[in-house]
Structure 1
Amino acid sequence: MSETSNNILSLSAALPDAVEFKAVYDQGNSFFNIEILDDPILGGVRDGWCIDTDREIDTGIDLPGFDKEGTTYSAKVFSSYEELPPELIGEGVIENPENFNKVNHIINQNWADRDLGDLGTVTFADIQRAIWSLLDDEQSTNLVGQESEGFWSQERVDAILADANTPEADAFVPEFGQKMAVILVPDQIEDGVLNPDAQIVISEVELSKLGDFVFEDKNADGIQDNGEEGIAGATVNLLADVDGDGTIEDDEIIDTTTTDHDGNYEFTVIAGDYKVQFETPDGFDMASPANQGSDDAKDSDGPISDKITLEPGEYDPTIDAGFYKKKVKIGDKLFYDENDNGIQDAGEEGVEGGTVTLFDAEGNEIDS
């Protein structure tokens, strides 16, 4: 099995600073859908949830036709695993950010439409109320009066919360193929004060992964040939544009892992732009030439890869690196020293078929 790194920092470092989005009414697997409009990586429609019950979000619904155009919001973007700025924490905003691990656990448990027997089937409203309960101190008045209609049930909400209030959920970090809550904070004004009417929302984003192989390139041709084995214990660094200057620098390391026994490695990340940096393993001298041949799955990409752009849920297993040992040659003639002076004099011929043995510095035979 590959060594997989899932550092929390790598789940946030490549997120854009801001996006534009619309909230779209949809009674499906979430409270509403979020359509991210202008980002080449995160753009698209995803499940969305509200964070605070004191604010509103315009989903575009205009009964009875459901055809009203919703508001386009400009929003700052945060990972649910990063330290949030002070203005986002407290009454009227995100009151319990320490519970985001539990929220991430909830959105990865496939609660929607789950049959709870006598309690009925879990609705998106049950899930939303559970999220409100974890993040917002105020008991929501939204949806009150609809419990009797089966729109939501406090018993089902309690079942979701019971599953979330466990040590496993409290320490939850999503893996590849699972989703992470990305926080969208709409319409911040210049002095950092939040628009009191704009709802802070969660957009679910599926995690991505990249990897996966460091190998001994015995012939130093930059291609994984048959019989060229992996290198165990090699150090691999993940790079991203941490300072936001548009360039991924060699020292912008956000995560580090080592290859497993077979030379494999993986990083689980949020969608975005990355580079992979391979350190020269012990006992090796040089990285193989990069991008040789026509098969990207077989070439070497070290010592630092080109920029890798991952879409949500994408797995790129082609980021590999070969390393080789410089070879030396010793020799080259066994001869008859007729006058026993230790010098090859003119006319002293070579010995055919003589046995020559190579020893290491400790006197151990290594070749013959």
Structure 2
Amino acid sequence: GDVPVTTVETTADGRYDFTNLDVDENYLVVVDEADPDFDDDRFDPVEVVAVGPGGDVVLVLGDVTEADIPVVEEATTLTGVVFVDLNENGVQDGDELEVLPNVTVTLFNDTNGNGVLDAGDVPLTSVETADDGSYVFVGLDEDENYLVVVDEADPDFDDERFDPVVVVSVGPDGDVQLTPNEENEADIPVVPDTSLTGVLYVDENENGVQDAGEVEVLPNVNVTLFIDTNGNGVLDAGDVPVTTVETTADGRYDFTNLDVDENYLVVVDEADPDFDDDRFDPVEVVAVGPGGDVVLVLGDVTEADIPVVEEATTLTGVVFVDLNENGVQDGDELEVLPNVTVTLFNDTNGNGVLDAGDVPLTSVETADDGSYVFVGLDEDENYLVVVDEADPDFDDERFDPVVVVSVGPDGDVQLTPNEENEADIPVVPDTSLTGVLYV
């Protein structure tokens, strides 16, 4: 509802004049910021001058009242957003909505203009990013060199999740040049660290999961990350080693700065002195990446524990013809008994004799080389290994009864846990003479 009275143009010396004013009237003096000769990019909005009995300037009857109008240059400011740069292109794309609020950002004077935070660079001021991740520094000098530094020690900055943040160099020698009296922008990309971690542990029940009771881990063992060049999940000659780490005291390995689109292999070094290859089975390679069993999550930590399985306690041997009856298969004793059934019994009373109460656990048939194998034995248990003399492939007319092999703490053969134990079974041919008494 305010009524314009008159408009004048400032003179060459910037002066305006309004005449024939009423000392009892209230007036407003307004600068036209849309005037082409007013640089609204350079200057802040100009305050209105209130004149009259209710204003800041009071007119004097019959006199000239002075009311200069200050015009303030806009400060040279630097602003930007600290954001999570998922695709690492340095630009906040439309789908990169995650920002870092409440993180301290410090403006340093880059004294030597080298764009690097050195010991002699002076901190000028610090601000905390707003809820939208933005920061603002006001009153910069376009001829000065500055550094903008994110405080990675700030509790609101997750230094385990993110890579170190690149310092932003600002000024004549920097990546960002300041335009005086304007708002200048310099967003700060924060790159999440796509990483892989896990624990090398002893998988007692062989279920592939570290259960609550499985507390044994393997520290100080080398684990190597390979690029799986053909993506087949198998360590081939052409696969390229990227890096090797040693498991920590709690058996953990960590690989950082991984590419979610790359295929990797995680390989335990079984030749490492801290890996007991006599005790453990070969460790399966972990295939990681788009073609693998473990898929990496961009900007996140992916877990891939590595189970290590103890070698089964096994018992193996050969059923052979013991010509010299010494209980040992000598070099010239080449005859073996294939296709013969051999049964493993639990020797319930540990007396080394096959009794009625002894429980058959499993049976196998000897291979072409006369060998048998029993897997998964308990070194604290007593067993009996018995050749089935009723088997059609056992010539009970040719051979003497076969001695039962007693295995276990009370037996002739003691088992070494997590290893292959041997117990050959000698079969003694019956040396005999026969003939016919005839007329």
Question: Which band: TM-score by shorter chain?
Answer: 0.3 to 0.5
- Compute the TM-score of the two structures, normalised by the length of structure 1: 0.38
Highest CA radius of gyration, 1 or 2? 2
Structure showing the higher helix proportion among its residues: 1
